[in-house]
Amino acid sequence: MSKNKLKKFAEMETYTHVFQLSYNELAAGATFDLKGRWHEHFFGNTNPIVIELGCGRGEYTIGLAERFPDKNFIGIDIKGARMWTGATQAHERNMRNVAFVRTGINAINHFFAPGEVAEIWITFPDPQMKKVGKRLVSTDFLRLYEQILAPGGHINLKTDSQFLFTYACAVADINHLPTHVRTDNVYATHADDDVLTIKTYYESQWLARGITIKYLQFGITHQADWQEPDIEIPFDEYRSYGRQKRSELTAGK
């Protein structure tokens, strides 16, 4: 591990708004003290809690927190070195409505009580084109989100991937989930939306390559039997390119 990463990890250990608990620790019986008590024991208010899954550098967590001081935001990711960027910004700006949790997304029910989360953002996840169970909008994950999402809460998916967007729409349709917004080109349909035009590091890269950004907002209704769509979806060819080919595409823009 590089000295730079070690330095970042050491700094985050000193941040009172960053929490780290590994899946192995949870599997061994460790408990997270703030579960069900985020409002009174960390944020000190009853404002809605919004989480960003796979937050990366925290651009959306920070951007949303700046725009909505009357809400609380928590970025979640397993990659601590990336998370350091957003965590440090929140620390330096003394942002009181921001926290970060370093853990795997499949463990989030250990960190939030039923109904504790008002809204979920999923920003530019790996589409996992060959592994259904690892897609963050698969029915396996929706079952998990259903445990923590408050009644009337909704999920926001923002992605470059036509594959993942098509799949997510199919999941919503086959399970009769209420869809609030569905667009395959955010900057053509919502160019004036101050929230949807927040750009992450990866989003800027995709835009530079001429790839459109897709967005789906949908709710979760209780399903007795979640259904996976049985459809063939073309893979995103550009995601199959090697690093050299992707570099050539970027250089050509």
pLDDT digits (tens, 9 = 90+) for 151-164: 999 999 999 999 99
Asked if pLDDT for residue 22 goes beyond 80, the answer is no
Q: Residues of the chain with pLDDT > 90: what percent?
A: 83
Asked if pLDDT for residue 172 goes beyond 70, the answer is yes
Question: Can you tell me the distance from the alpha carbon of 149 to that of 160, in angstroms, rounded to the nearest whole number?
Answer: 25
Phi, psi of 198 (to 5 degrees): -65, 130
CA dihedral sign of residues 169, 110, 132, 214:
positive
pLDDT for the residue numbered 3: 76
Residue type, 248: E
Asked if pLDDT for residue 248 goes beyond 70, the answer is no
Q: How confident is the model at residue 1 (pLDDT cuts 50, 70, 90)?
A: low
- State both tokens at 60: 């959306």
> What is the average per-residue pLDDT within 37-53?
98
Residue 178 neighbours by CB under 8 Å, 6+ apart: 218, 219, 221
Identified catalytic residue from 33, 70, 126, 160: 126
> What is the average per-residue pLDDT within 69-75?
98
* Catalytic-residue membership of 126: yes
Side-chain half-sphere of 221: how many Cα atoms within 13 Å? 10
Question: Can you tell me the distance from the alpha carbon of 113 to that of 26, in angstroms, rounded to the nearest whole number?
Answer: 15
Give the containing element (helix H, strand E) for 183: strand 179-183
Question: Kind of pairing, strands 18-20 and 49-53?
Answer: unpaired
As a whole number, the mean pLDDT across the chain is 92
Asked if pLDDT for residue 219 goes beyond 70, the answer is yes
Phi, psi of 91 (to 5 degrees): -65, -50
